[in-house]
Amino acid sequence: MGSPYTLIANAPLDRRNTFRVPARAAWLAEVYAPAVLAELLAKPEANSRSMLVLGEGSNVLFTRDFDGLVVAMTNRGIEMLADDGESVRVRARAGEDWHGLVRWSLVQGLCGLENLSLIPGTVGAAPIQNIGAYGAELSETLEAVEAFDRHANASVRLTREQCGFSYRQSIFKQQPERWIITAVELRLRRNAPLKLDYAGVREELATMGVNAPTAKDVSEAVCRLRRRKLPDPAVIGNAGSFFKNPIVSNAQAAELQAAHPGLPVFNAPDGRKLSAAWLIERCGWKGFREGGAGVSDQHALVLVNHGKATGAQIWSLAQRIRESVQEKFGIRLEPEPRII
């Protein structure tokens, strides 16, 4: 049996982030067994340095080298912990591919993850952002997160309520140097109402000729929509949606809609959610390119690396986009990826 982790000095990260920007880490640890985390983090290479937990790098932008320890959890495996006939408790380790987990759940005849199909990244990264798409969020099916708590120097199990989930937010995002997620537990169902009301889903199902959709059909519709709207990171470097959809008060939303007819507005728990893509496109950025950094011509919310851009160049473009939206609409956009 090999070592439960590897430790690499001055490690290149250009192939570990989907923007494909050049960067290096002072140290990179690939961890195969969560039980060794306490030992690893006690080493001199780790205990006095900043820490970054990195999955597939699909939600991070490196604007410089990282003078700290990058931890990559590579533990894999999916298992059913309990099955009462109607619902199933599933445990997936952090190193599993997220879309691979979605496909696995569909093969088992389980509902709950179909709207989250084709989101890039690992299972361990999913709770950090409370990933969401096409009218669904991870927090709706997540039951618990298993993690290593650096403050307690111990492994813990956090319930959904303890994770502090909200729109693209969690305690793991708020305290990134404290937590290393090692597994997630989900509650999935054999029969559950499907989420079909997000824009485009019913239309895509109709195009597919599906009148009585299953979870597999919804997953296929979502995959088709995503492939059509979003550039593939394997073809052109990107991290998906770069900015969060801003949430404003009902009054501010009404004022903006009156001033800008056609502005898409959606219900949100704390007010009204606006379309960041619409705001950016109206400022003229869709398809913009300056050197290697640009905005996708498929979707205004996606910043891209045409091949030679640095992270600093992409971040500079993002700041210019944010300033123009602020000036035109009075809305300050917040980035989704973690900016290093």
Q: What are phi and psi of 146, to 5 degrees?
A: -95, 130
Distance between CA atoms of residues 100 and 103, nearest Å: 5
CA 291, chain centre distance (Å): 27
Burial 63-98 (b: 16+ CB within 10 A, else e): eebbebbbbbbbbeebeeeeeeeebbbbbbbbbbbb
Looking at residue 16, its amino acid is R
Instruction: Extract the tokens encoding 178.
Output: 């404290």
Distance between CA atoms of residues 165 and 2, nearest Å: 37
* Dihedral Cα 79, 30, 122, 247, nearest 10 deg: 130
Instruction: Extract the tokens encoding 217.
Output: 């059909």
Cβ atoms of 168 and 88 within 8 Å: the answer is no
Distance between CA atoms of residues 139 and 202, nearest Å: 23
Cβ atoms of 37 and 51 within 8 Å: the answer is no
Cβ atoms of 331 and 279 within 8 Å: the answer is yes
By annotation, the residues acting in catalysis are 168, 241, 336
